[in-house]
Amino acid sequence: MKKYIVIFVTLFLLFSCKGKPDSDAKISVTLDWTPNTNHTGLYVAQELGYFAEEGLEVEILQPGQGITDQIVATGKSQFGVSYQENVIRARSEDIPLVSIAAVIQHNTSGFAFLKESGIKSVIDFENKRYGSWDSPSELAILKNVMDKHGADYDKVKVISGIYDFFSTIGKEADFEWIYYGWDGVYAEGRDIEMGYIPLNTLNPIFDYYTPVIISSEEYLAKNAETTAKFMRAVKRGYEYCIAEPEKAADIMLKHVPELNEKQVRASLDYLASQYQSDAEYWGYQSQKVWQDFASWMADEELIAKPIEIDKAYTNQYFED
């Protein structure tokens, strides 16, 4: 009889503990910007209990006045959302950040403009105003694609500090660099007659990962099990976005009700086919993509020194 009591108590404890966060597994993930559909998989994992099922209590934070890369590097947040470019730059400065997943498989950003601007190709960027968000490598990339297509970069007037496409395009700037999955699909929904040139069609080197999920070498080395649990839950979150974009939109709007509903739904409908795209699984990162873009940054002297590619990213949390 005692044997059965022990078995019953053991099963009761197992089932009663399922889904409860481990008090030692309270972690945070800091976004790169204000919440948007690049982050939906994180909110889905939180809402549907994927983190809790792994015994994790996860807080989703905004960077505030800080920079996410610095917040993660200093251990103030265990995980973050960043960009391949930032990880490469950090590692060139001996800051050991590591990309552990590609949120979107291909670069879905590019140059956008109103059709009335007369821009039809890169050559038409000449004698136009470019609205810049002041990224360290942004203008080097613009110059590269213009040189590659026989256009004179020196004939572009760069307008600094442009961050809101809809309030500035055609007014303060003639063309801007946008993420199609956010601003582009929303422009279509608002019947704005817009032209768009995808960046990755202008030079394949620029088909880099943006955004990515990051952590620090130190945290990964000391918390392999927690990281594996976190990534299992996040992967499930993004797979849900791929399979159920409408329901994922409902979850995103529940957590961030101030977002524009039409924009969120249009964005997730588009991103459902982009999160994984042609990769074997969500989150996969190619060594060639990392090597090509890092080599270009080194050649352009955008980083202090070349980096060890194999230490900058990993697929191990999916392969395991």
Number of domains in the chain: 2
- DSSP SS3 for 164: coil
217 and 307 share one domain = yes
217 and 197 share one domain = no
pTM above 0.85, yes or no: yes
- Which of 175, 206, 237 corresponds to the end of one domain? 206
Residue 24: per-residue pLDDT: 55
pLDDT in tens, the chain (320 residues): 333 333 333 333 333 344 444 445 899 999 999 999 999 999 999 999 999 999 999 999 999 877 999 999 999 999 999 999 999 999 999 999 999 999 999 999 999 999 999 999 999 999 999 999 988 899 999 999 999 999 999 999 999 999 999 999 999 999 999 999 999 999 988 888 999 999 999 999 999 999 999 999 999 999 999 999 999 999 999 999 999 999 999 999 999 999 999 999 999 999 999 999 999 999 999 999 999 999 999 999 999 999 999 999 999 999 86
Could you tell me the residue range of the domain that residue 233 belongs to? 2-105+209-319
Residue 25: per-residue pLDDT: 80
77 and 120 share one domain = no
184 and 218 share one domain = no
98 and 173 share one domain = no
Distance, in Å, from the CA atom of 285 to the CA atom of 154, rounded to the nearest integer, reads 35
Distance, in Å, from the CA atom of 320 to the CA atom of 315, rounded to the nearest integer, reads 9
66 and 116 share one domain = no
136 and 12 share one domain = no
192 and 121 share one domain = yes
Strands 97-102, 79-82: pairing is unpaired
User: Hey, how many other C-beta atoms are within 10 angstroms of the C-beta on 269?
Assistant: 16
Residue 292: per-residue pLDDT: 98
Q: What is the CATH number of the domain that holds 191?
A: 3.40.190.10
- Which residue carries 């050559």 as its tokens? 123
99 and 230 share one domain = yes
As a whole number of Å, the end-to-end CA separation of the chain is 41
Give the ranges where the chain is alpha helix by DSSP (H).
Answer: 2-17, 40-47, 50-53, 68-73, 84-92, 138-148, 165-168, 185-189, 217-222, 224-243, 245-255, 261-271, 287-299, 309-312, 316-319
63 and 8 share one domain = yes
135 and 222 share one domain = no
- Which of 159, 174, 206 corresponds to the end of one domain? 206
- Which of 206, 231, 254 corresponds to the end of one domain? 206
197 and 119 share one domain = yes
